[in-house]
A and B are shown apart, each in its own frame.
Chain A
Amino acid sequence: MEDRLLIWKLNRGSEDALCRIYEKYRDDLVRIAAGLLNDVGTAEDVVQDVFFMLVHSAGKYEIRKSLKGYLTSCVVNRIRNLNRTKSTQDPVSLDDVLPAVSDSKAPDQSVISDEEFQYLYKAMAQLPYEQKEAVILRIQGRMKFKEIAKLQGTSIKTTLSRYSYGLSKLRSMLNSEVEK
């Protein structure tokens, strides 16, 4: 209900509504994008582009379902377009993946805390993109399998398979990393 009201206000040019939507969803969207891209800087750029698109389309389109779902779909589609042009998803070994943590104290750098999460991101970089997408959208995006299947253009069964294969691969990779 709040989202519908915010959209209604945004369609009428309300800055407060825009700020509220930004505060509410920006961090989650960056988290999802960072998981898909393995790069927080690019993730922030993608999310910013999506919000720009939202501002430009205010009043032109009607968002009938969940606002978060809509924004997440936009982020995912934008990342796919980016991957098509950049080919950043070539499989790499764990040793070759650049650390997601930045030691720079520059204000435009974001950091990922905790060694555990570093291992996680390294492991996720090895997953095929569709499986990684299914896992992140399900767990971090809290999307239903039906919504993920629609986004990926596949059946629910295929999405479920991708999700469970992705999780078991992550488990085996993280376990082998722990055993080292």
Chain B
Amino acid sequence: MRPAENIKRLIKNTRIKINPEVKKAALKELTDELEKSKTAGLVGTKPDMWRIIKQPLAMKLAAAVVIMTTLYFVIFYAGTNEQSGNTELREVQSKPLAEMMSILTINTIYRQGGFDAVQRHFEVISEMKDSHHRHMVTLRDILAELNGNGYDRRQL
């Protein structure tokens, strides 16, 4: 009795001797056919990117993530760049002196550029004052005056 494993081995080891000339001729036919297809523009063109993206689920998800991330950055970070902040600061500094020294104005400047911006703002104000009171007014001076410490400016 021939065991089943023997049958499997027999089937697995089946050999077919193939004439190499026949094989070579068959391969030549195929390469000629490939050349014809390339000439006809059917092969070798770049695959449609949209077709590639839309087919596998993983590619669809990856494309969705990229699009959403791009939109997020455009919407939420486009309005907070330094350039727009600097434009607002210049607009504030072109207004009348009284308005420049108002609390609202100082608050706006602080939000845009922090204490450094407020310091620069007061340097501009001090340059606009007349020579009698010409001196550098620092942020500390203004805060002290606002806090009611009775600080006498004339003594500066």
Which A residues have a C-beta under 8 Å from some C-beta of B? 11-13, 15, 18-19, 22, 26-27, 30-31, 34-35, 40, 44, 48, 51-52, 55-56, 58-60, 62, 64, 107-114, 116-117, 120, 135-136, 139-140, 167-168, 170-171, 174-175, 178
Query: B8 an interface residue at 8 Å Cβ cutoff?
Result: yes
Interface core residue of B27, B34, B35, B42 (most chain A CB under 10 Å): B34
- Inter-chain CA distance A18–B47, complex, in Å, is 18
Q: Who on chain A is nearest to B56 by CB?
A: A64
Q: Are B7 and A170 in contact (CB under 8 A)?
A: yes
- B38 at the A/B interface (Cβ < 8 Å)? yes
Can you list 22 contacts pairing A with B, beta carbon distance less than 8 Å? A11-B44, A12-B44, A15-B31, A15-B34, A18-B31, A26-B26, A44-B26, A56-B37, A58-B34, A58-B43, A59-B47, A60-B42, A62-B55, A64-B56, A110-B17, A110-B18, A110-B19, A120-B10, A120-B14, A136-B11, A167-B4, A171-B1
B37: which of A48, A55, A136, A139 is its contact (CB, 8 Å)?
Answer: A55
Q: Which residue of B lies closest to A124 (CB)?
A: B11
B75 within 8 A of A: no
Q: B interface vs A, CB < 8 Å?
A: 1-4, 7-8, 10-12, 14-19, 21-23, 26-27, 29-31, 33-35, 37-38, 42-45, 47, 52, 55-56
- Beyond the given pairs A19-B27, A111-B16, A139-B11, 20 more chain A to chain B contacts, judged by CB atoms under 8 angstroms and listed by A's residue number, are A13-B37, A15-B35, A27-B16, A34-B16, A44-B26, A52-B30, A55-B43, A56-B33, A58-B43, A62-B52, A107-B19, A108-B19, A110-B16, A110-B17, A111-B17, A113-B15, A116-B10, A167-B7, A168-B4, A178-B2
| Pick from B4, B33, B45, B56: contact of A59, CB under 8 Å | B45
